Amino acid sequence: MKANTNMTTKDITAEQLIEVLKFTPRKYSISLWGYGGEKVMGRVPRAVWDYCMEHQVDLQDIAWNSEAAEDMNLDPDLLPFPPGSWYECDGMAHANGVSRGSGTLQIEDENGETVIEQSIDDFSGDNIDDESPEFDCTNESWIGEAAEGEVVFVGSSNEKGTFFEGEIELTEPFDIRKLKLQYEEVDGEELIYGVEYAGEDIDNWGGSTDGKSSDFDMYLVGDACTWTRYEPEEKDWGHPPYGTSPSDWEKSPKFDFAEHKPVYPGYYNAVWSHFGTTYGSLYWDGSNFGEWEYGKFNPIAGVKTWQGYNWDTSDWANQPPEPPNLICSNKKCGWTGMSEERRTDDNYDDHCPECDGTDFDWIDYDPDTKTGRANRAKYCVTQTEEQEFIAGMNAALEELQQEFIQLED
């Protein structure tokens, strides 16, 4: 756009007029980038609050999933927004832009030279006495403006990137004082969505942002501008609990699912085909791998490999002893042991308890590498070996006790 500078010869000095006449018309690009996002606020009936509390509804679960009501057997008419469309609860406010407290204003000329690049929050907003753009609040909404007993929903998608990109064509030097940044304030957060120069709107090309997180809350308004935040107890869907993940030394090899099936139900690391190759944790119910969601087990096809523990986890007493995880780098020493067995000096340097060296190597126990398998054979004690060792110690102890009895006789 070609901006109207709103300047006449009566408004400027002779020196300024000369600068204008000498100025070559040029384009400037304006961008607003940093952190911001989309934020809404709206009133919801008290019945919605009561229903969600009773059914322990997690707002995150329903905010992005359009099928959440059906999946969780919920009444969609008693939720604060249509499942998957949290942004529709916007009767009080709906803003989208860069945060004034976490954004940057950048202006470049047509040659790509930076004219201004500054944190927006560092501008005073006084465009008369300071080198600053003007700030124009077009809407302001607060939880406290709702009446006592009302319920307010506040939802936001927090994003990072460029929220505004536009261009202006000037016939005189750029003047930051003629720039106006329009924003909406939603529950204390100022989101800048629009830009004017010399009284004319600058078209926003859209920019590009990536979602980082989201927040969804409800508030029951009390008296004297107080409110109670919606915090239901976490719902127990009855899913089998996750256990701990195996350390390298107790991992099983990776098994081809087509040839080998797990023996015990539980969670396993798996690789499966789902719009490409997916890696993650799946539950084996004795017949199928799958995922638990909202109390339902959903089988998953296309599993290629799986991996779990290399010992019977039905009883933690079966766990073999942990092998050493470090070896001294001094080949003449060859000490092996646990990290905490090293001596730490006043400078926080760790020393070998045998040769006093300070260099160590981690011992690899990866079951799918030649080195890892060799170290397992060398340092790991199998469950059978442990049982035989314990049985031998018990037999030796019993024999010693018999000898003491004979000496006493």
Q: What is the pLDDT of residue 348?
A: 94
Per residue, the 3-state secondary structure of 39-86, as one string, reads EEEEEECHHHHHHHHHCCCCHHHHHCCCCHHHHCCCCHHHCCCCCCCH
Query: pLDDT means per 10 residues in the chain (409 residues)?
Result: 45 59 75 96 97 95 93 95 97 96 94 92 89 94 94 96 94 89 96 95 89 94 91 89 89 94 92 90 95 91 94 84 94 94 95 96 94 93 57 66 71
pTM reported for the whole predicted model = 0.67
Please name the residues in contact with 305: beta carbons below 8 A apart, sequence gap of 6 or more: 254, 255, 256, 257, 270, 271
Residue 87 and residue 38 in contact, taking contact as beta carbons nearer than 8 Å = yes
pLDDT tens for each residue of 136-172: 999 999 999 999 999 999 999 999 999 999 999 988 8
Tokens of 374: 């060799």
Cα separation, 292 vs 381, in Å, equals 35
Long-range contacts of the stretch 377-384 (C-beta < 8 A, 24+)? 379/323, 379/324, 379/336, 380/249, 380/320, 380/323, 381/320, 381/321, 381/323, 382/320, 383/311, 383/312, 383/318, 383/320
Residue position matching structure tokens 């408004």: 11
Tokens of 405: 């009895």
Q: What is the DSSP letter of 148?
A: T
Residue 294 host element (H or E): none
pLDDT tens for each residue of 12-55: 665 655 565 455 668 999 999 999 999 999 999 999 999 999 99
Strands 289-293 and 296-299: antiparallel
Work out the number of other CB atoms within 10 angstroms of the CB of residue 359.
9
Q: What is the DSSP letter of 188?
A: T
